[in-house]
Amino acid sequence: MFAQHKRKIAFLMPLLVFLGLSIFLLKGLGGDPNALPSALIGQPLPAFRLPTLSGQPAELTEKDFLGKPALINVWATWCPTCVAEHPMLMQLAKAGVVLYGVNYRDEKADAQRYLTQRGNPFQKNIMDTQGQLSLDLGTYGTPETFVINAQGKILYRHVGEITEEVWQKTLKPLMDSTER
Amino acid sequence: MIPEIGYFALIAAWVVAVVQCLLPLWGSYRLQQQFWMQIARPAAVTQHLLVWIAFLALVWAFVEKDYSINYVVEQSNSALPVYYRIAAVWGGHEGSLLLWALVLSGWSAAVALFSRSLPPILVARIISIMGAVAVGFILFLLATSNPFTRSLPYFPVDGKDLNPLLQDVGLIFHPPILYMGYVGFSVAFAFAIAGLLGGRLDAAWARWMRPWTIAAWCFLSLGIALGSWWAYAELGWGGWWFWDPVENASFMPWLTGTALIHSLAATEKRGVFKAWTALLAIITFSLSLLGTFLVRSGVLTSVHAFASDPTRGLFILIFLCVVIGGSLTLFAFRANTLTTSARYKVFSRETLLLGNNILLAVAASIVLLGTLYPLLADVLGLGKISVGPPYFNALLVPLAHLLLILLGIGMVVRWKDQSAKAAWQTLRKPALFAVIVGLLLPLFAQGNYQIRAALALIFVFWVVGVCITDLLVKVRAAETLWQGIKRIKPSYWGMLCAHIGFVVTVVGITMASLYSLDKDIRLAPGESIDMASFAVTFQGVRDVRGPNYDAIQGEFDVYQSNHFITRLYPEKRTYWVRQDRLTEAAIDTGWTRDIYVALGEPLDKGAWAVRIYVKPFVRWMWGGAVLMALGGLLVIIDRRYRKNSFQESLDVRAA
């Protein structure tokens, strides 16, 4: 009798697991993943001291990202969306947009090679090998892009690829407005 | 006009699907009136024809460049060659869902046409359940993703063009074959639900279900391999698997589907694992649906997720809850009525197949967890760290090794009971052979002895050795060699072929991961670079023009030990409409190595940044998948699945 009861519970398990999972999926649906809110909006950039990808200078801090409105792009060589996004970043860099890169959990050699191969859109690039800065920024995945003003205040966070549309409709107006 | 016909055909298909779902199911509980059940077959075929009309109408709109249709504008351009215009039908969200619906109705029509020997109640219920899935899917299309929406009276004169990454022969074949696999598991799912409804999950049920499940699995194996090959050839940096959510979405049903075909073997031969087999069938199809949800809802971002829209996501989520929740509820109430009379000892083929199933289920859970981790962590507020390839590699490689060990043992161990001593007698030779060959082979890698390669090769040759040993045992039982070979059934050849295919894939993955060479260098015209025994000379670049792009084409001569092998032409393309720049790599393919050349950025004085890879055995990974699919095909054509199996099952039950 007891064994029979246990068997019944065992057969209920798949259903319970699925119900649990669907709650997560529903919550995940809640918002557009490309516009995740960030607790950091309106806050200054988190403090950091991290090595650069080029090695010159050896290290940068948050103060080195000040002075101009800029995009901070979190990227990795193992991230296919970053590959897809790369031509757009090159185009932005060519148009004079200030781009800083945060290379996320990568091998230095891989990252350097990636930029030699595809071109380097970043004026400065730091290596977040342990993911500390990305953790402070609340990075959810790669690529992610933060818009900062000249004082280093975070204005906006974009998750996923920057498309022409995202740039024209969201990021560009933000950057234009802060320049004035 | 024609798109409107397509739209109405789709509405009509939905109505027919409702009929296909409700009436046969209702009829299956009213046996005195056969009429209602007999509706199932014609309804399934009619629905399939109607979805074909809708699909062809959309193809027509693309071929005829009807830019009053939004979807055609989004996905194509008049400069796009016609074969890509046709493939562009499934290049975006709406069209790929229409393809999904087409494939689903195709499978249910196939069940309707090729199930003459099955009991009418079972057929009626299977077709009805597949109809229910079609009702949900076509409704999804009609309600949220109508591909035929027009923008009238003003419409653009030309389209926005297909994403250049998709303009590749891969787009033509990969999605249809992948969907054949994904959606094909709906047949196994319908068998499981019909079996649970009727309380009949026996050896005959498993035998009917098996060829359908294997067919879906073959398509899925090929589809995944094609996708990987496409990423390798098209993304331009030599990677072949990224653990991207969309790739994982196709890999999870493959893992559980592989478990399913093995547990079906045990259910068919010995009548064991009935509830587990039914559960696996439900889970496999659920994972296919989940994959569609993940890709189409935008819950996870990915390079493949071209379209995402929360309302669509909500619809699929509700659909998922109804289909998966409903079937798991049915499972919870019905599964405990299943009993197994067959007994087996601890050391038997049953136990080893159970081991295989556990390993594959654990692997699928690992992939599921890794895929959903960013989502789970975000909802639970546990920090935000995403898992990358290191997580998957660290966990799945040891599991794959264990799986290979069990595979070898399982092939020679008998059902029910096996003496460990006798098994050891058979297995010790292949074990010794594997250890020796596996340890020696990496010595040939020009001084780069990798212990991980040796380990993987030991397990690979272990399986190869066992296959040969087992084949020899079978052949020697007959009087002559030829008689022995003739006596072996296609399904046994199929099993050997699929298992060898699996280890061939393992060889490809291991060698390409551990022994790839790559160089990223500056080359001026006339300069040359040495890599292992190869030398690559850069001859220069020139401008070329494609059908819808301009390109800079490099010319590279490849030499091996001073002999000219081939000339490669990698390109840097700029597509006219989107102004996207794309790296088109050039690959010299070979049995034991690929040479892969990609152009980077132009540097000063005519020099270019160039990336060159030598990837050993990389083709084996996809060749293995072809062998696996071929093995599946051999099992399907085995005569025992084409006999009058209903009559036979009555004999089985009477016995």
Q: What is the pLDDT of residues B10-25, one digit of tens each?
A: 999 999 999 999 999 9
pLDDT of the residue at B379:
66
pLDDT of the residue at B129:
96
Q: How does DSSP assign B433-486, residue by residue?
A: HHHHHHHHGGGGTTT---HHHHHHHHHHHHHHHHHHHHHHHHHHTSSSHHHHHH
In three-state secondary structure terms, B231 is helix
Q: Averaged over B488-499, what is the pLDDT? A: 93
- Name the token pair of B352: 């080893």
pLDDT of the residue at B211:
94
Q: Averaged over B52-65, what is the pLDDT? A: 96
Residue A39 has pLDDT above 70, yes or no: no
B310-320 pLDDT per residue, tens: 677 778 788 88
What value of ipTM does the predicted structure carry?
0.76
Across the interface, of B332, B378, B581, the residue whose CB is closest to A12 is B332
Please tell me the least confidently modeled range out of B124-138, B183-197, B581-595: B581-595
Q: Which amino acid is at A50?
A: L
Residues from chain B that touch A24, judged by Cβ atoms under 8 A, are 372, 375-376, 379
Alpha helix stretches (DSSP H) within A1-97: 2-29, 80-94
Residue B551 has what DSSP assignment?
A: E
pLDDT category at A3 given cuts 50, 70, 90 is low
Q: How does DSSP assign B85-104, residue by residue?
A: HHHGGGSSHHHHHHHHHHHH
pLDDT of the residue at B306:
36
Is residue B520 less than 8 Å (CB to CB) from chain A? Answer: yes
Residues whose CB is less than 8 angstroms from the CB of residue B49 and which lie 6 or more positions away in sequence, other chains included? none
**B603 vs B62, higher pLDDT:** B62
Largest Cα–Cα distance in chain A? 78
pLDDT of the residue at A107:
81
Distance CA(B633)–CA(B494), nearest Å, equals 7
In three-state secondary structure terms, B602 is strand
Average pLDDT, chain B: 88
Is residue B375 less than 8 Å (CB to CB) from chain A? Answer: yes
**A56 vs B215, higher pLDDT:** B215
Q: Which amino acid is at B128?
A: S
Distance CA(A116)–CA(A112), nearest Å, equals 6
How much helix, strand and coil, in percent to the nearest 5, is found in chain B?
Answer: 65, 10, 25
Residues whose CB is less than 8 angstroms from the CB of residue B294 and which lie 6 or more positions away in sequence, other chains included? B245, B246, B249, B300, B371
* Beta pairing class for A70-75 and A144-148: antiparallel
pLDDT category at B643 given cuts 50, 70, 90 is low
Residue B384 has pLDDT above 50, yes or no: no
Cβ–Cβ below 8 Å for B321 and A27: no
Q: Evaluate the omega torsion of the peptide bond into residue B175 and state whether it is cis, within 30 degrees of 0.
A: no
B497-544 pLDDT per residue, tens: 999 999 999 999 999 999 988 888 889 999 999 988 899 999 999 999
Torsion of CA B641, B645, B649, B652, to 10 degrees: -60
Distance CA(B326)–CA(B644), nearest Å, equals 33
Nearest to B342 by CA among B413, B280, B268: B268
For residue B186, the tally of other CB atoms under 10 A from its CB is: 28
Average pLDDT, chain A: 81
pLDDT category at B646 given cuts 50, 70, 90 is very low
Q: Averaged over B65-79, what is the pLDDT? A: 90
- E strand or H helix at B596: strand B593-602
Highest mean pLDDT among B96-110, B378-392, B421-435, B547-561: B96-110
* B468: closest CA of chain A, how far (Å): 40
Residues 280-309 of chain B whose Cβ lies under 8 A from any Cβ of chain A: 282-283, 286, 293, 297-303, 308
Please tell me the least confidently modeled range out of B141-145, B302-306, B532-536, B630-634: B302-306
pLDDT category at A35 given cuts 50, 70, 90 is very low
Is residue B310 less than 8 Å (CB to CB) from chain A? Answer: yes
Residue A29 has pLDDT above 80, yes or no: no
Q: Averaged over B611-617, what is the pLDDT? A: 91
* B347: closest CA of chain A, how far (Å): 24
Residues from chain B that touch A116, judged by Cβ atoms under 8 A, are 520, 600-601, 609
Helix/strand/coil (H/E/C) assignment for every residue in B389-434: HHHHHHHHHHHHHHHHHHHHHHHHCCCCCCCHHHHHHHHHHHHHHH
* Beta pairing class for A70-75 and B517-523: unpaired
